[in-house]
């Protein structure tokens, strides 16, 4: 299979991740006002619970499937054998989790039972999710195109049919069906890339253990990605879930951009390792870290500069408290970004799964302890503190495990000037105030963005050019 253009793949992957997040962001000002904090809290809570069933249905297939397919993508017969072996495990787990979720809804979900029941379509979308295969063969244009069309339709349906606070059911159905239809479409294009053939038990069996190994970090990560909202709903109230989720949506956008780069690099670096291309790997590690941190620093400090004005304007007066949550969460963007490079460009491609598992497992423990201590008293802000400390802990541990293979001292020295520019940008943006909140937001974005790019881009270019030479 012909090797595709890396830069184009990264752009497609970034666009794909943005699309995944763009519906809730585009619709958020409208939906938050129509459904209110109560309706958004109900949706956020039921979605977070259903997410755990999706995670169990997919095990660690997103990373594992991407990695395994990328190693055999040049050979259609082997790629087909690998695909069906992996997917048979995913299908079995998916059906099992769907049944268990329906039992949970019937027996345990007393409040908001209808909304919870509708989330079953989201779980079914996980059963049919084979995006990992297309990532492994680097067909990012295909996944992006499908997602773009689907998200446009979903967005239109939200604006057309969600009209009152009672329409949380309709909103849930639209979003869940959107996920499901997106993953169904992938199956219609699969025949072009693989052979449809029966899979033996032995072929499936050999994937179970590595999938379970990579499932451990998936569960651990989910503890501090979704458990915070579940704990807020159980220990405080639904409104605190909505407050946390509103801030989290802004954090997820830059993190999604970084994750997109990581998805492409995992496939490419794994393929390079299979062909022992050591010099290229070192170069890509260096450049990726610089570019990723350049983006994450700019987005982190940029959000810090507009958050105080933008959140009340964007969500409405019910979500003013989300501003403080956002400010606490901002540093986590940089920690996640750094760790993403380490994980996708060394730990996972080199199959150092045990170190990856250990780091996120310890992070989950840290998160649970801090959440238990802080949520009862500080609510959503306490959950945000737990998330940020957790991401820092995971970042530190993964860096420690990779210290002999990646030049972290060199990375830090090159990133420091850009970090200082980010601080100055935020300070400058905070000084800019106008009579209109809308004008203030756009002026801050324009001035801050221009300031950051003008000062930091030459530094980034110089560092990359030096490495090339």
> Cα–Cα–Cα angle for 276, 282, 286, nearest 5°?
155
Evaluate whether residue 177 is within a structural domain. yes
Mean pLDDT, the chain, integer: 84
How far lies 206's CA from each of 202, 203, 211, in Å? 6, 6, 9
Show the tokens assigned to 226.
Answer: 């979704």
Specify the pLDDT at position 25.
Answer: 64
Assess if residue 435 is contained within a domain: no
> If pLDDT is split at 50, 70 and 90, which confidence band does 35 have?
confident
Q: What is the pLDDT, as a whole number, of residue 64? A: 85
Asked whether residue 347 carries a pLDDT value surpassing 70, the answer given is yes
**What are the tens digits of pLDDT across the range 277-310?**
777 778 888 888 888 899 899 989 988 888 777 7
Q: Which residue has the higher pLDDT, 248 or 221?
A: 248
**Would residue 224 count as lying in a domain?**
no
Q: Indicate the number of domains in the chain.
A: 1
Q: Which two tokens stand for residue 207?
A: 């994937």
Q: Is residue 235 part of a domain?
A: no
Query: Angle, to 10 degrees, between the axis of helix 278-315 and the axis of helix 6-58?
Result: 70
Q: Tell me the percentage of the chain whose pLDDT exceeds 70.
A: 93
Please report where in the chains the tokens 């890396």 appear, as a residue. Answer: 6
- Give the model confidence (pLDDT) of 104-146 as tens digits: 998 877 778 889 999 999 999 999 999 889 988 888 788 888 8
pTM of the model as a whole: 0.72
- Residue 167 domain-assigned (yes or no): yes
Q: How do residues 214-227 score in pLDDT, each as one tens digit?
A: 787 777 777 767 77
Q: Which domain holds residue 117?
A: 1-191
72 domain-assigned? yes
| Average confidence (pLDDT) over 400-415 | 84
For residue 1, the 8-state DSSP code is: -
Q: Which residue in 105, 92, 88 sits closest to 57, CA to CA?
A: 92
Asked if the structure places residue 222 within a domain, the reply is no
How far, CA to CA in Å, does 249 sit from each of 29, 222, 306, 377, 445?
A: 12, 16, 15, 23, 18
pLDDT of residue 394: 92
Sign, Cα dihedral of 320, 325, 327, 330 = negative
pLDDT value of residue 4: 56
**Does a structural domain hold residue 462?**
no
């Amino acid at each position: 299979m012909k090797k595709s253009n890396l830069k184009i793949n990264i752009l497609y992957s970034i666009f794909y991740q943005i699309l995944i997040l763009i519906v809730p962001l585009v619709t958020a000002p409208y939906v938050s006002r129509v459904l209110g904090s109560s309706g958004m809290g109900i949706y956020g809570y039921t979605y977070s619970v259903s997410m755990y069933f999706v995670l169990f249905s997919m095990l660690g297939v997103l990373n594992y499937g991407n990695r395994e397919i990328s190693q055999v993508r040049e050979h259609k017969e082997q790629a087909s054998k690998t695909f069906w072996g992996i997917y048979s495990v995913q299908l079995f787990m998916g059906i099992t989790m769907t049944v268990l979720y329906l039992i949970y809804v019937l027996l345990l979900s007393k409040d908001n039972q209808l909304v919870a029941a509708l989330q079953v379509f989201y779980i079914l979308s996980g059963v049919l999710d084979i995006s990992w295969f297309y990532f492994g063969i680097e067909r990012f244009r295909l996944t992006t195109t499908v997602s773009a069309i689907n998200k446009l339709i979903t967005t239109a349906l939200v604006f057309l049919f969600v009209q009152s606070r009672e329409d949380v059911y309709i909103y849930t159905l639209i979003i869940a069906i959107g996920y499901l239809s997106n993953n169904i479409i992938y199956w219609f294009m699969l025949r072009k890339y693989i052979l449809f053939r029966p899979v033996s038990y032995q072929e499936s069996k050999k994937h179970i253990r590595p999938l379970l190994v990579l499932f451990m970090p998936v569960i651990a990560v989910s503890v501090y990605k979704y458990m915070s909202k579940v704990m807020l709903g159980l220990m405080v109230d639904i409104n605190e879930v909505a407050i946390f989720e509103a801030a989290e949506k802004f954090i997820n956008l830059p993190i999604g951009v970084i994750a997109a780069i990581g998805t492409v690099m995992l496939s490419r670096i794994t393929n390079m390792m299979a062909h022992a291309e050591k010099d290229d790997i070192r170069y890509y590690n260096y450049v990726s870290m610089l570019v990723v941190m350049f983006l994450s620093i700019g987005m982190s400090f940029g959000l810090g500069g507009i958050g105080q004005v933008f959140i009340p304007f964007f969500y409405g007066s019910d979500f003013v408290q989300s501003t403080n949550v956002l400010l606490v969460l901002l540093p986590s963007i940089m920690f996640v970004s750094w760790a993403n490079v380490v994980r996708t460009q060394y730990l996972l491609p080199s199959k150092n799964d045990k170190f990856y598992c250990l780091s996120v497992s310890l992070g989950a423990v840290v998160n649970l302890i801090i959440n238990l201590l802080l949520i009862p008293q500080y609510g959503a802000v306490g959950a945000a503190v737990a998330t940020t400390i957790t991401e820092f802990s995971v970042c530190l541990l993964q860096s420690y495990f990779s210290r002999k293979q990646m030049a972290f001292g060199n990375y830090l020295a090159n990133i420091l000037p850009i970090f200082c520019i980010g601080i100055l940008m935020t300070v400058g943006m905070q000084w800019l105030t106008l009579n209109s909140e809308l004008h203030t937001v756009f002026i801050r974005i324009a001035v801050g963005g221009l300031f950051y790019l003008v000062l930091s881009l030459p530094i980034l270019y110089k560092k990359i050019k030096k490495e090339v030479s």
